[in-house]
């Protein structure tokens, strides 16, 4: 792509994650000459790590509920899903010889639960289709004439292409390639970039040493209660886990945006956990008021209301001293256990990041309005979603949108020459 002028329109895809690879596939199928540039030694590293415990590819939830998982970006991401949704993603996997199934939670997995066979089949097909791969090519911005600049093991490289898709990831798991280094280069070109911040993250809590032995212990089921910026009350049932620094897990990830923004506004956030869903406060109080018959408070909690282990530790963390002998205080703690969240975990260690290129900086085809011919896809865009297959689905869908847009742009540019 950097030597001479190809007879076909050319596309440089920077970033070899799901969004970049889908953009490459889409543009190649539209007739473009495509090259993928990846900073690491192989593509799809985060994809492989995400699938280590079971590859959650997408979710079976119907739309528009599916779209709502993208919070305030539901309409924009929904437009991507109109072209490439969860069913299209499952069909794509089937085309690579990988069948999928819907688990009990509604999540969709490959039949073997693994990411590696799917990625291998995909890369093999792309290569067979003529997509070229260049690993250990780290993008370092644009030249003055708009050419792409890379650092490679062989030295600096200059690449000119008819169109570019940037799929550089956010700032989570930088050791896998998504380090957010691209932010100043885009900002210098007039692109509106929101600061990258943690999403699908745990939160720090000032627990006492009493809680340390319970790090890693699950809390299930529980109901989370919180209030939004307008003071409206919300509740959601699910599961979470205690950590050495606080709390995390799928329930926390699902409400992390609200908790993170509350901390940004007020310096901390209050989360209340109902540790005994199905028992209201009067019932809890009545059951805990029964005679203990010489049993310890911990044993009384276990026998009367089923609170033990990590849940009991949380109750004792909240109800201290003589108050532990008070059935009303214990019942209140079980029913609405207050947790003060101090900060989200650092963005480098969390599952995904929020922020990035604001969607308002793109046109309808995912092209940067400030940089004609440059398209963006994946986690480097300013959207977020909880775990459960929603993250990957939007990455694939945005890559598809960017690939289509880049193909149309590159073809139009050649016609105009």
DSSP string of 326-389, one letter each residue: -HHHHHHHHHSEEEEE-EEPPGGGSSEEEEEE-GGGB-TTSBBTTSTTEEE-GGGBS----TTT
Query: Residue 415: what pLDDT?
Result: 63
Task: Return d(Cα 116, Cα 129) in angstroms, integer.
Answer: 20
Beta strands 138-142 and 107-110 are unpaired
CA angle 122, 396, 30 (to 5 degrees): 70
Task: Return d(Cα 33, Cα 129) in angstroms, integer.
Answer: 10
- Residue 186 CA neighbour count, 13 Å, CB half: 28
φ, ψ for residue 226 (rounded to 5)? Answer: -155, 170
Query: Residue 48: what pLDDT?
Result: 93
Q: With CA atoms as reference, report the closest residue to 375 among 5, 18, 20, 3.
A: 20
Task: Return d(Cα 211, Cα 164) in angstroms, integer.
Answer: 50
Average the pLDDT over 62-83 and give the result: 97
**Looking at 70-179, which runs of residues are DSSP E strands?**
100-102, 107-110, 132-135, 138-142, 148-152, 155-159, 163-166
Query: Residue 414: what pLDDT?
Result: 66
Cβ neighbours of residue 195 under 8 Å, at least 6 residues apart? 355
Task: Return d(Cα 83, Cα 85) in angstroms, integer.
Answer: 7
Burial (CB count <10 Å: 0-12, 13-18, 19+), residue 298 = middle
Query: Residue 5: what pLDDT?
Result: 58
Cβ neighbours of residue 365 under 8 Å, at least 6 residues apart? 375, 401, 402, 404, 405, 408, 409
For 349-388, the pLDDT digits (tens) are: 999 999 999 999 999 999 999 999 999 999 999 999 999 9
Task: Return d(Cα 375, Cα 401) in angstroms, integer.
Answer: 9
For 143, the 3-state DSSP assignment is coil
Query: Residue 54: what pLDDT?
Result: 87
For 189-205, the pLDDT digits (tens) are: 999 999 999 999 999 99
The overall average pLDDT reported for the chain is 95
Quickly state the pLDDT bin for 51 (edges 50, 70, 90). confident
Percentage of the chain lying above the pLDDT 70 cut: 98
Q: Is the pLDDT of residue 416 over 70?
A: no
For 82-136, the pLDDT digits (tens) are: 999 999 999 999 999 999 999 999 999 999 999 999 999 999 999 999 999 999 9
For 275-296, the pLDDT digits (tens) are: 999 999 999 999 999 999 899 9
Burial (CB count <10 Å: 0-12, 13-18, 19+), residue 155 = exposed
CA angle 4, 6, 11 (to 5 degrees): 110
Q: Is the pLDDT of residue 148 over 60?
A: yes
For 298-335, the pLDDT digits (tens) are: 999 999 999 999 999 999 999 999 999 999 999 999 99
Beta strands 33-38 and 132-135 are parallel
φ, ψ for residue 328 (rounded to 5)? Answer: -65, -45
Burial (CB count <10 Å: 0-12, 13-18, 19+), residue 266 = exposed
Question: Are the C-beta atoms of 370 and 348 separated by less than 8 Å?
Answer: no
User: What's the predicted TM-score (pTM) here?
Assistant: 0.93
């Amino acid at each position: 792509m950097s030597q001479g002028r190809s007879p076909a329109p050319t596309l440089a895809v920077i970033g070899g994650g799901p969004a970049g690879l889908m953009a490459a596939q889409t543009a190649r199928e539209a007739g473009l000459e495509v090259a993928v540039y990846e900073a690491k030694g192989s593509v799809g590293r985060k994809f492989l790590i995400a699938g280590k415990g079971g590859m959650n590819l997408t979710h079976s939830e119907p739309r528009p509920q599916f779209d709502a998982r993208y919070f305030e970006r539901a309409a924009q991401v929904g437009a991507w899903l109109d072209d490439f949704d969860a069913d299209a993603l499952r069909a794509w996997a089937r085309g690579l010889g990988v069948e999928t199934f819907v688990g009990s939670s509604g999540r969709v997995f490959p039949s073997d639960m693994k990411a590696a066979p799917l990625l291998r089949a995909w890369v093999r097909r792309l290569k067979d289709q003529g997509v070229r791969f260049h690993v250990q090519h780290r993008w370092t911005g644009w030249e003055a004439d708009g050419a792409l600049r890379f650092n490679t093991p062989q030295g600096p490289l200059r690449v000119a292409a008819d169109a570019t898709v940037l799929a550089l990831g956010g700032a989570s798991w930088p050791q896998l390639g998504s380090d957010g280094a691209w932010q100043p280069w885009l900002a210098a070109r007039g692109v509106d970039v929101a600061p990258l911040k943690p999403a699908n993250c745990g939160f720090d809590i000032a627990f006492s040493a009493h809680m340390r032995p319970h790090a890693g212990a699950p809390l299930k089921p529980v109901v989370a209660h919180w209030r939004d910026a307008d003071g409206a009350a919300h509740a959601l049932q699910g599961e979470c886990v205690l950590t050495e620094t606080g709390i995390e897990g799928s329930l926390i990830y699902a409400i992390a945006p609200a908790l993170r923004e509350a901390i940004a506004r007020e310096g901390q956030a209050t989360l209340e956990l109902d540790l005994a869903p199905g028992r209201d406060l009067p019932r809890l109080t009545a059951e805990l008021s029964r005679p203990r018959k010489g049993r310890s408070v911990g044993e009384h909690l276990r026998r009367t209301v089923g609170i033990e282990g990590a849940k009991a530790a949380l109750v004792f963390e909240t109800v201290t001293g003589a108050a532990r002998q008070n059935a009303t205080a214990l019942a209140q703690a079980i029913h609405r256990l207050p947790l003060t969240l101090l900060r989200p975990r650092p963005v480098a260690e969390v599952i995904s990041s929020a922020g990035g290129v604001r969607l308002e900086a793109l046109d309808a085809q995912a092209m940067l309005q400030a940089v004609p011919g440059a398209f963006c896809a994946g986690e480097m865009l300013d959207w977020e979603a909880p775990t459960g297959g929603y993250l990957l689905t939007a990455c694939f869908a945005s890559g598809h949108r960017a690939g289509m847009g880049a193909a149309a742009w590159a073809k139009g540019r050649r016609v105009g020459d």
